Amino acid sequence: MSLALPLTAYAAPGLATSPTATAGTESATGSDAAAVDGPLVDYVNPFIGTKDDGNTYPGAAVPFGMVQLSPDNGHNVGYDYDRTSVRGFSLVHLSGVGCGLGGPLPTLPTTGAITSTDYGQYALGFSHDDEEASPGYYRVGLQAPAGTIEAELTATERTGVQRYTFPATAQANVLLNAGQALNRVTESDVRVVDDRTVETRITVRGFCQDTEPQTIWTRTTFDRPFVAHGTWDGQVVTAGADAASGGEGRRGAYVTFDTTGGDLDVEAVTAMSYVGADGAAANLAAEAGTFDAVHDAARSAWEERLGLVRVAQGDPDDLRTFYSSLYRSFLAPNVGSDVDGRYRGWDQEVHAAEPDFTYYQNYSLWDTYRTQQQLLYLLAPDESADMALSLVRQGQQGGWLPRWGYGTVETNIMTGDPATPFLVSAWRQGLLAGHEEEAYAVLRENADGVPPADSPFNGRAANVEYLRDGFVPHEPARSGKPGDYDLQHGASATMEYALADAMLSTMARGLGHDEDADRYAARGQSYRNVFDPRTGNFRARNADGFFVGDADPAHSDGFHEGTAVQYQWLVPQDVPGLFDLMGGTDAAVDRLDAFFAYDELVADPPHVASEVWVNGTYDYYGWETYNPNNEPNLHAPYVYLWTGQPWKTTDVVRAASTLFTDGPDGVTGNDDLGTMSAWHVLSSIGVYPIVPGADLWGLTTPLFDDVTITLDPEVFGRDSLRLTADGVAPDTHYTQSVSLGGEPLDRAWVTGDELTAAGTLDVTVGTEPSAWATDPAASPGAVVPADGTVERLFVGATPRQPVLAPGGRTEVAVQVVAQGAGTSSGTLEVTSDGAVTATTDLAEWTAESDGLPATVEGTVTIEAPADAEPGLHTVRLVVRDAAGTEAVREVSVVVSGESWIADAFDNVGIGDAGAANANLDGSGAYLLRDLLADLGAVQGLELTVPGTDLTYTLGAPRAGAPDNVAASGEVLEVPEHLRSVRHLSVVGTSTHGTHGGGLVLGFADGSSQTVDVRLSDWCTGSPEPGNITVAKAGARGDRENVQKIGCGLYATAPVAIPEGKVLTSVTLPSDERFHVFAIATDATGDVPAPQVEVTAQARCLGGKAFVAVRALNTGEQPAAIELATPYGSKLFGDVAPGANAYQSFATRAAAVEAGEVTVTVTTPDGEPQQVTAAYDAAACS
C-alpha cells in the first residue's frame, strides 16, 4: 500500500487531514508495512517536538545552515504549538534547546498604522488550520486588520527568504525588529539604505545564564520598492526616519508597500553574518534568489540528505517519525563562515578559513557527543571533519574548549568535559587527519588545567581538586563564572571527567604519548572514587572526602540533571569494572531489570515507557527508573550487551521508540540539537555507539526490515551499507543470528571499520530470545580497564566550623576515608592551639578498602575553658596509615561571643546548603553560612564593618537558631558597656526590595532622635547609595537546593550620636522585611563613672519653694559642670577638683512636686557625661 502524504508540505498536526501516530502503540512491520513511496521530504513533520518543551521549531532551514528562519510566538525558545499568535519570523533557532537564545531580527508583515513597537503587542493571530511546514518551507495565514496575510518562509545556507501575500491595502507593512530577540539584546542599530534595503547590527548575550556578547549583522532586500518607511526607538515611531541606534530597548524599522494595484506579493531576502556588514552583503549577493527557486533548492537539498538512509518499507507512523528524526539530526552544528570563508573566531577576531574548510559553530556537546556526532560521521563525513576541526579552532582561538558553544561564545552550560569524547571520536574516525597533534594539544591543556580568572570559560573548574584528590568535591554553595559549575555537581562531574580522561588516554596512546596515556588511563578509573561501598551506589563527596547527601540513590545530591540511579551506568569505558563494583554481572542484571522495570515492560512496553519511566522533560530528580528524556542514561539500554542478554536491549529500545510519535509532543525531552533524534535514528536501524570516543557500535534488532545507508566511498571504501532484518515485527523481534558481510557474527558489537567495510549486516529474527551473543566472550569488554590501585587518605570533621561558648563543650563527627588495596589501618592524632582542648575516640582505625574509598567514623570532643576569649581557634587532625601516608585537616573552632540584640531575634536567615534550616524571605530562601564565613562574616566572632571602626557580632552561630530581627518596632536596650558609642550602623539586609524606616535613638537624658535607615534587597546587583557591602555570596539556599543567585548582608552608613548624649536604647522601624542581624558601634567599653557627686533638695523660703542643687567635682581635673532643672539651668565653666557647683532655682510657687535634675560634666580630655538626681516634693505653708 502507498502512503497518503501531502506532496509538498506537512499540515500542522491536529488537523483532520493530518496523519498522527497513536501514542503508546508498538510499531509494526511485516504485513502491516508499506513501501516507501514518493519524496522522502514528504515523510517529515517539522511540527514534531514543538509542544511540551521538545523545543524544536517548524520553520525553514537547509542542512547545517547558518539561518533557521522560523516563527516566534512567545515561547522562550521561539515556537510553542499551543500558542496562537506570531510575533515575527526570526533568523536563528537551535533545535531542542532548553533555554532562550537566538531569535534575532523578528520580521512580521502587518497592515494598518504602526501603533506599537513591542512584538508582544503587535503580534498577529493564526490558526493551525492555516499552517503547514516541510523541510525548507513554512507557511501560515496571519490574521491582520485588513485581512489574512499569507507568509511563506524558505532558506539558503546564509539567507532567509520570505514571501508575503497581502490583502489589497495601501498600508502593507513589514516590521524589522532589531531590538527584541529570544535572548537579551544589548545594542541594536537599524538603517534604511534605500527604497529596497534595510541593514541591522544586533548585539546579544545570554542563554540559560549570562554570556559574553556577540554581534550579528543582517542585510534585507525587497523585490520591489517600498513606498514609505520609518524607524522606532523605544515607544517613539518616526515616519520617514532612516536610522535608529542605541543600547538596550526596542528599536527597528518598518517599510510600507501599496498592494491596491493588484500586486499582492512582496518577497524579502535577509542575509546574516557574524563577521560584519560587508559579510552580510556578500552572503546576500551570493545566495539571494526568488522564493520559488530557493524553495526548490532547499527541498532538493533535504531530499538528498534524507536519501542517505533509505528504508524499503515500514509502518507509516514509524516512517514519519523516523524521517522526522533524521531531519532534525541534520539541523546542527551550523555554518559559521561567510561565502568568502571568513568567520569570527572565539578570540572575537576575523579569520580566513583554510581552503576546502567550512567553519561551523553551535555545539551542544554534553548532548551530541553521545549520538549525533557518530551518526553524522556515517552520513556526512566531510561536514563532520570540518565540524571537528572547527571545534579545535574554537579551543585554540578562545583559549579553551567549550562545553556548549553558541555562535562565537561559550555559554558554560552543562558540566564535565564533553568536548573530549567528541573530539576523540572524531580522531578515532579519521576526521582529524592532518590535525591530530593540534587537536591533542588543545585536549591536553583542557584536561590538565583550569581556565584563568579572566577567561569566560568555566572549563574543568574542579581540576585542581580532581587531580589532587581523584574526585570533584560536591560544594553546592560554591560558584564560578556564569553558567553551570562542576563543583555544584561533584559526583556526576567526577564520572564525566573520568570518561573523558579514559577516552583521551586512547588518543594519547595512538599518537605515541605513552606517559600521558598512562596517567589519563589511571584518571579514567576515578569513577571508583565516588562509589560508596557502604551503600553500594555512586555518591557525592565533599572537600574533606566525606560521602555526603541522601544515601538513597534516587535522592542523592551532586548529580547534574539526574540521579545516582541514572548515572550509575555512565562508565562505558570500563563496564566490567562497574559490574565488579555492583557485585558481579548477575547483580548488574538485577539492577538493569529494576531500572527499566523489565518484567513489566515485556508485558506492556508502551505503558512502562510512558508511565513507569521518567516522563517529564525537566523531571530530573527523585526517580529510580530510566529517563529517556535526558542524556546521562541514554546509552543504558545497551549496557545489557555486556551481560550476555542482548535481547533485553532490543526490548527496551523498542519500548523507548514508542515515545517518538507523529504529533507535536512526539519527542523525548528537549531534542538538544539532534541528540534525541539521532538516538532514535540509530536505534531504529539497529546500530548504536556504545562507547563515545571508542568507535564501538552495539547491535540490536532494527525497527525496519531493510535499510540502506549511502556511504562516501572516498571515506569508507564502499558506497553503501545495507542492514536487514527480514520479517521483523512486534512479535518477531528477537535476534537469532547475525552475519556481517556474509560472515557469521557471534557478538553484539562491531567496530566502526568492521561495520562500514562489511557492506551488509543481516539479522535473523524470531519470536523468542536466542543464545546469540550470550557467551561472556561476546561482551564488548573494557576499553580502558583498571590497572593498579590508587592509595589515598582523607580526614575531616563535621561541622567544618564548630561553635562553643566559653566554658562549653561540643562533639564533632570525624571521618577517615582510606582507599587502597585490601585493608588499611593507621592512627589519628588530634592537637589544638591551647585555647581549647581536643580529644578523640578514633586514635587507631582500620578500614576495609579493596580499592574503594572506605569510611571510618569517630568523634572529636572539643572543650573551651570558662575564661576562653571569644575568637577563632584551631584543632589539627593528622591521620597516618601504616605505609606512612599522611593527611591533615585544620578545623577552625569558634569560641563565640554574644550579640547584644540576640534576645530580640525572631527569624532564621542563615542556614546550610541543602539543609532547609533557615527561611529569610518567607519563601524558603536563605543566606548560606559557609559562604558568609568564607567572606569573613563568621557568626559568633567580633567583626568590623568594612571601611569603618564599627564592630559587631553576628549572633546565633548554631544551625536553626534565630539570628536576626524582622523589624517591628522592637526597643533594644543598649548595655552599659556600649553606652560610650559615638557612631552606630545597622547590619542586615532586606527582602523583596529595599526596606527600612525611622530608627529611634533614645538617650539618657530622656530625649530621642529619629534617623532614616534603609538596607538594600539581599540579592540586589546595585546596593542602595550609602549602604556598605558586608558580605555578598555568589549563591543562596532555597529549601533543599542551592540557587546561583548572589545575596548578602549590608550595613547602613554610620549614624553619629549627638554630642553630650548617652545612648540607652534603639527602637527599630516597623517593617518586617527589614532584617537586622546586628548593630555595629564604635563603643570603647564601659562608660567611666561620672567624676561628680550630686545632691538635690526641694526647700522653702518665705512661703515659696525652691530647688537646691550641689555638684562636687570628685575628679582630678577641672570640669565644666552644668546644672539643669525644670526651673532653669546654670553652667559653671571651670570647677576645680574638690570644689562645688551650687545653685538654688526658684519655683515661684508655694509647693513643688517631686522631680529630677540633670548634671552634665565635661572634662578637657573627655566626652560629656550626664548624672541625674531626684528630689522630693515640698509644700510651703
What residue type is 919 in one-letter code? N
Give pLDDT, residue 20: 35
Please report, rounded to a whole number, the percentage of residues in the chain having pLDDT higher than 90: 86
The pLDDT of 1137-1151, averaged and rounded, is 91
Confidence of residue 17 (pLDDT cuts 50, 70, 90): very low
Give pLDDT, residue 5: 30
Give pLDDT, residue 1103: 85
Specify the range with the lowest mean pLDDT, choosing from 24-38, 418-432, 974-988: 24-38
Phi, psi of 518 (to 5 degrees): -65, -45
Which helix H or strand E contains 861, and what residues bound it?
A: strand 854-863
**Grid cell at residue 405:** 558553544
Give tens-digit pLDDT for 993-1044: 999 999 999 998 889 999 999 999 999 988 999 999 999 988 899 988 888 7
Domain 39-306 matching CATH 3.10.20.30: the answer reads: no
Give pLDDT, residue 993: 96
Give tens-digit pLDDT for 601-619: 999 999 999 999 998 888 9
Give pLDDT, residue 1088: 57
DSSP summary character for residue 69:
B
| Secondary structure string (H, E, C) spanning 336-404 | CCCCCCEEECCCCCEEECCCCCCCEECEEHHHHCCCHHHHHHHHCHHHHHHHHHHHHHHHHHHCCCCCE
Pairing of strands 1008-1015, 1070-1081: unpaired
What residue type is 172 in one-letter code? A
Give tens-digit pLDDT for 531-561: 999 999 999 999 999 999 899 999 999 999 9
Give tens-digit pLDDT for 260-311: 999 999 999 999 999 999 999 999 999 999 999 999 999 999 999 999 999 9
Residue pair 91/101 in contact by the 8 Å Cβ criterion? no
User: Does this model's pTM top 0.75?
Assistant: yes
Give pLDDT, residue 1086: 56
Give pLDDT, residue 742: 97
Which helix H or strand E contains 794, and what residues bound it?
A: strand 792-798
Please report, rounded to a whole number, the percentage of residues in the chain having pLDDT higher than 70: 96
Give pLDDT, residue 371: 98
1117 or 746, which is more confident? 746
Per-residue pLDDT for 1104 more than 80?
Answer: yes
DSSP summary character for residue 612:
I
Long-range pairs, 912-917, Cβ under 8 A, ≥24? 912/959, 912/1037, 913/476, 913/477, 913/1037, 913/1042, 914/476, 914/549, 914/557, 914/1037, 914/1040, 914/1041, 914/1042, 915/959, 915/1037, 915/1040, 916/1037, 916/1039, 916/1040, 917/959, 917/960
| Secondary structure string (H, E, C) spanning 625-668 | CCCCCCHHHCCHHHHHHHCCCHHHHHHHHHHHHCCCCCCCCCCC
Per-residue pLDDT for 481 more than 60?
Answer: yes
Where in the chain are the domains?
39-306, 792-893, 902-1081, 1092-1179
978 or 1103, which is more confident? 978
Give pLDDT, residue 15: 29
Per-residue pLDDT for 155 more than 70?
Answer: yes
Give pLDDT, residue 4: 30
Which helix H or strand E contains 576, and what residues bound it?
A: helix 575-582
Phi, psi of 794 (to 5 degrees): -135, 150
Per-residue pLDDT for 366 more than 70?
Answer: yes
Give tens-digit pLDDT for 45-68: 999 999 999 999 999 999 999 999
Per-residue pLDDT for 82 more than 90?
Answer: yes
Per-residue pLDDT for 33 more than 50?
Answer: yes
The average confidence (pLDDT) of the chain is 93
Phi/psi-derived region of residue 950, left when phi > 0, alpha when psi is between -120 and 50, beta in every other case: beta
The pLDDT of 1098-1126, averaged and rounded, is 90
The pLDDT of 1075-1084, averaged and rounded, is 95
What residue type is 330 in one-letter code? F
Per DSSP, the residues of 425-487 read HHHHTTTTTT-HHHHHHHHHHHHH----TTSS---STTHHHHHHHSS----TT---SSS--GG
What residue type is 1130 in one-letter code? K
Number of C-beta neighbours around residue 993 at 10 A: 10
Handedness of CA 1172, 1173, 1177, 1178 (dihedral sign): negative
Beta-carbon contacts of residue 253 (< 8 Å; ≥ 6 apart) = 175, 176, 178, 190, 191, 192, 198, 200, 229, 230, 231, 232, 244
Give pLDDT, residue 1087: 55
Number of C-beta neighbours around residue 307 at 10 A: 13
Give pLDDT, residue 508: 98
Do 39-306 and 792-893 agree at the fold level?
A: no
Give pLDDT, residue 23: 40
Give pLDDT, residue 1059: 87
**Grid cell at residue 856:** 571510618
Right CATH for 792-893 from 2.60.40.10, 3.20.20.10, 1.10.730.10, 3.90.190.10: 2.60.40.10
Give pLDDT, residue 26: 55
Confidence of residue 1128 (pLDDT cuts 50, 70, 90): very high
CATH superfamily name and code, 1092-1179: Immunoglobulins (2.60.40.10)
Rounded to whole angstroms, the Cα distance separating 940 from 500 reads 44
Coil, helix or strand for 1102? coil
Residue pair 396/438 in contact by the 8 Å Cβ criterion? yes
Per-residue pLDDT for 11 more than 70?
Answer: no
The pLDDT of 446-469, averaged and rounded, is 96
Give pLDDT, residue 958: 79
Residue pair 646/745 in contact by the 8 Å Cβ criterion? no
Give pLDDT, residue 955: 86
Pairing of strands 886-895, 871-881: antiparallel
Confidence of residue 874 (pLDDT cuts 50, 70, 90): very high
Specify the range with the lowest mean pLDDT, choosing from 182-191, 475-484, 965-974, 1136-1145: 475-484
Give pLDDT, residue 14: 35
Number of C-beta neighbours around residue 539 at 10 A: 26
Among 542, 526, 525, which Cα is nearest to 473's? 542
The terminus-to-terminus CA distance of the chain in angstroms comes to 130
642-653 as b/e: b if 16+ CB within 10 A: bbbbbbbbbbbb
Per-residue pLDDT for 29 more than 80?
Answer: no
